[in-house]
Amino acid sequence: MSVFGKLFGSGGKGGKGPTPQEAIQKLRETEAMLTKKQEFLEQKIEAELLTAKKNGTKNKRAALQALKRKKRYEKQLAQIDGTLSTIEFQREALENANTNTEVLKNMGFAAKAMKNAHQNMDIDKVDDLMQDITEQQELAQEISDAISRPVGFGEEFDEDELLAELEELEQEELDNTLLEIGGTENVPLPSVPSTSLPSKPAKKRVEEDEDEMEELKAWAL
C-alpha cells in the first residue's frame, strides 16, 4: 500500500474518497510528525559530531563511525525537508481548492436566491412602474413650482414701463424745484425805514446787521 494510501485510507473502486477538510487535517498531522523527526535527527547529528570531535585523536575508528552516522542522519534530514516542502505545497493547494469550493457554493446559493427574488418580476412592468414614478415626480415638481411662484392677483406689469413712469415723475419733481428756486429771485425786499435810527454802539450794530442778513437769506430761500 502506498504512503498516501496509508495516510488517507484505502478507497477501493466505488469507495468514497476523503473530503478536503479530512485530507488537510491528515497533512497537518503528517507535517507535525515530520517536524518532530527533524528535531530528533538534528539532535542526533549534533551528538555524533561531538563524538567525532571527542575521539578524533584518541579513537580514530570511533570518530569515523560517528561521522558516518552523522552523514546518514543528515541525508535523512534532507529527505524530510523535501517531504515537508511537498506536503506543505499539497496542503496549501487543498486549502485553496476548499476555499474556492466554499466560495462557489455560496455564490451559487446567492444566485438561486436572486433568481427567486426576480422570478415574479416582469421587466416590462418594471419599466412601466419607473415611467409612472418619473411622471409623478415631474408632476410634483410642477405643482411645487406653481405654489412657490409669487402671485399678483392675475396682474402683470411691464417693468420697463414702470421705470419710464418713475423717470417722468422724477423729472417733473426736478422741474418744480427749479421753478421754485427761480421764483424767489423776483420777491420784493422790505422797504428801508425813512427815519434815522438812534445810534448804537458799533459792536451791537454789527451784530444786529449780521442777524438781519441771516433773516434775509432765510426769507429768500
Tens digits of per-residue pLDDT, 88-134?
999 999 999 989 988 999 999 999 998 888 888 788 888 888 888 99
Contact 55, 66 (CB under 8 A): yes
The mean pLDDT value for 18-25 works out to 88
pLDDT at 127: 86
pLDDT at 14 over 90: no
> What percentage of the chain has pLDDT greater than the value 90?
34
Once rounded to an integer, what is the mean pLDDT over residues 156-170? 81
Taking residue 196's Cβ as centre, other Cβ atoms within 10 Å add up to 6
Q: Check: CB of residue 134 under 8 Å from CB of residue 60.
A: no
pLDDT score, position 57: 80
Place of cell 415574479: 120
| Residue 219 in this model has a pLDDT that exceeds 80 | no
What cell does 38 get? 527533524
Q: Does residue 81 surpass a pLDDT of 90?
A: yes
Compute the distance between CA of residue 104 and CA of residue 20 in angstroms, rounded to an integer.
15
Residue 166: in which H helix or E strand, if any?
helix 159-183
For residue 219, what is its C-alpha cell? 426769507
pTM of this prediction? 0.44
Q: Fold for domain 19-123? A: Helix Hairpins (1.10.287)
pLDDT of 78 above 90: yes
Q: What gap in Å lies between CA 139 and CA 45, rounded to an integer?
A: 90
Q: Please tell me the predicted confidence (pLDDT) of residue 160.
A: 82
Q: Is a pLDDT exceeding 70 seen at residue 145?
A: yes
Can you tell me the mean pLDDT for 153-160? 66
What is d(CA 27, CA 33) in angstroms, rounded to the nearest whole number?
10
- Phi then psi dihedrals of residue 15, to 5 deg: -75, 145
* Separation CA 45–CA 78 (nearest Å): 12
In the chain, the N- to C-terminal Cα span, in Å, equals: 135
All three cell numbers of 149: 411662484
Contact 13, 45 (CB under 8 A): no
Weakest mean pLDDT among 37-51, 62-76, 192-206 = 192-206
| Average pLDDT, rounded, for the chain | 80
Domains in the chain: boundaries:
19-123
Alpha-carbon distance of 101 to 91, in angstroms, equals: 15
Q: What are the cell numbers at 12?
A: 477501493
| Amino acid present at 70 | K
Q: Which of 73-77, 96-100, 153-157 has the lowest mean pLDDT?
A: 153-157
d(CA 110, CA 123): 21
